[in-house]
Amino acid sequence: MTRRAAGRAGDSAGDTASQASVSALQDALAAEEAASYGYGIVGSHLTGFPRQFGAASADCVAHEQAKDSLVGLLTARGAAPRPAAVAYRLPVKVSTAAQAVALAIILERQVESAYLGLVAVPDLALRAFGAEQMQAAAVRYTRWSGHSQAFPGLPQSSAR
Amino acid sequence: MSADHSRRALLVAAASGCLVAGCKGIAALGPLPKLTADVVTLDHAIADEELMVARYRAALTALRGNRKAAAVATSLLAEHSRHLAALRSRLILPPRLATASPRPSSSPPPLPSGVASVIADLSAAEQAAATRLLGQLKHAPGPLAQLMASIGASEAGHVALLAQARLT
């Protein structure tokens, strides 16, 4: 968004690296926005289940916090956070508690893969942040699904 | 940077000393070239996974009497074996170097007795491994960092699954 005017030739590697950082941060932010929205739907179908409702509320807060961190990381780099969508098309139909849990599981998988770009950027602080968020998402995935994953976030084809 | 490029980089970084000296025969090799940080990082990640696999194999024997705990340990062992295979596939070392890098010990400490203690021991090992991988990302090229971050996330998920196994 706020790219500096073309700098000296020596800056181009740094510019490329910071563009990669901003682009990876925007991808992660989009997934966190979608997860925050999605968990609102998840929670609304779990009101009759106090333990699960509590988990959905806690996870929603975690996604809101991650979103705030990503916004801070973007603005610190002079980039404007991409605005959230007004509404999202849900990946599954949700009208029961079981479907709400299924949605939470899908949201966490989407968040895991959305951080994959961030863990490969040259900025090591961003890598660490992305990897921590991947771990947090994998924990939430397991709590909702009762299953573990061998390669959270990686596309099926690359995970052997 | 493509995955292929990065894999080649690991190979070349490790092998350049041998390739240069190769035509003169083994006596001309001289001291081993120093391994680059990314090769050492990958090698340590492999050693850590080997240790985890050994730890789970030992745990399976200890958990034989508890069908549910044994089933959880079996599925987690399978995932660690996949981690190990994926990491090994990224490391291509000439034979002489393959045995030359310093490695942590690869036999796990003895397991405590009792199902709950064994699960707690596995859980602590998984958490330690996930945390250690966070610190090692800085030495890895991008695609390897992605694999290591994914494995760390898998291990964090294992901690959550073991916690559920402990509760039920």
Encode pLDDT of B41-79 as tens digits: 999 999 999 999 999 999 999 998 899 999 999 999 999
Mean pLDDT computed over B142-157: 97
Closest partner residue to B154 among A119, A124, A150, by Cβ? A150
- Residue with the bigger pLDDT between B20 and B138: it is B138
Distance in Å from the first CA to the final CA of chain B? 46
For B68-119, write each residue's pLDDT tens digit: 999 999 999 999 999 999 999 998 766 655 555 555 556 788 888 889 999 9
pLDDT at B168: 63
Per CB-CB distance under 8 Å, the chain B contacts of A129 are none
Interchain pair B134, A147: CB under 8 A: no
For A112-130, write each residue's pLDDT tens digit: 999 999 999 999 999 999 9
Can you say whether residue A68 is alpha, beta or left, with left for phi > 0 and alpha for psi between -120 and 50 degrees? alpha
- Residue with the bigger pLDDT between A13 and B48: it is B48
- Whether A142 maps to a domain, the answer reads yes
- Whether A42 maps to a domain, the answer reads yes
Mean pLDDT computed over B113-137: 95
What is d(CA B106, CA B144) in angstroms, rounded to the nearest whole number? 22
CB neighbours (10 Å) of residue A146?
Answer: 13
With beta carbons less than 8 A apart as the criterion, state whether A154 and B152 touch: no
With beta carbons less than 8 A apart as the criterion, state whether B162 and B72 touch: yes
Which pTM does this prediction carry?
Answer: 0.84
**Phi, psi (rounded to 5 degrees) for A105:** -65, -45
- Whether A4 maps to a domain, the answer reads no
Number of structural domains found in chain A: 1
If you average pLDDT over every residue of chain A, what do you get? Answer: 91
Tell me which residue range forms the domain holding A112: 17-146
- Whether A74 maps to a domain, the answer reads yes
Mean pLDDT computed over A79-89: 89
Q: What is the CATH number of domain B3-167?
A: 1.20.1260.10
Mean pLDDT computed over A58-87: 95
What is d(CA A64, CA A51) in angstroms, rounded to the nearest whole number? 20
Tokens of A132: 């921590």
The pLDDT confidence band at residue A61, using thresholds 50, 70 and 90, is very high
The pLDDT confidence band at residue A14, using thresholds 50, 70 and 90, is confident
Q: Shortest CA distance to A141 belongs to which of B158, B72, B77, B132? A: B158
Interchain pair B82, A160: CB under 8 A: yes
pLDDT at A118: 97
State what percent of residues in chain A have pLDDT above 90.
81
What is d(CA B159, CA B152) in angstroms, rounded to the nearest whole number? 11
Interchain pair B156, A139: CB under 8 A: yes
Weakest-pLDDT range from A28-32, A61-65, B31-35: B31-35
Closest partner residue to A131 among B79, B85, B134, by Cβ? B134
The ipTM assigned to this model is: 0.90
Interchain pair A143, B164: CB under 8 A: yes
What is d(CA A147, CA A131) in angstroms, rounded to the nearest whole number? 20
pLDDT at B15: 44
Q: Domain containing A63 — which CATH number?
A: 1.20.1260.10
Per CB-CB distance under 8 Å, the chain B contacts of A132 are 134
With beta carbons less than 8 A apart as the criterion, state whether B131 and B125 touch: no
Helices (H), chain A: 12-44, 50-76, 97-114, 124-145
The pLDDT confidence band at residue A85, using thresholds 50, 70 and 90, is confident
What is d(CA B42, CA A32) in angstroms, rounded to the nearest whole number? 30
Interchain pair A146, B164: CB under 8 A: yes
Q: What is the DSSP letter of B29?
A: -
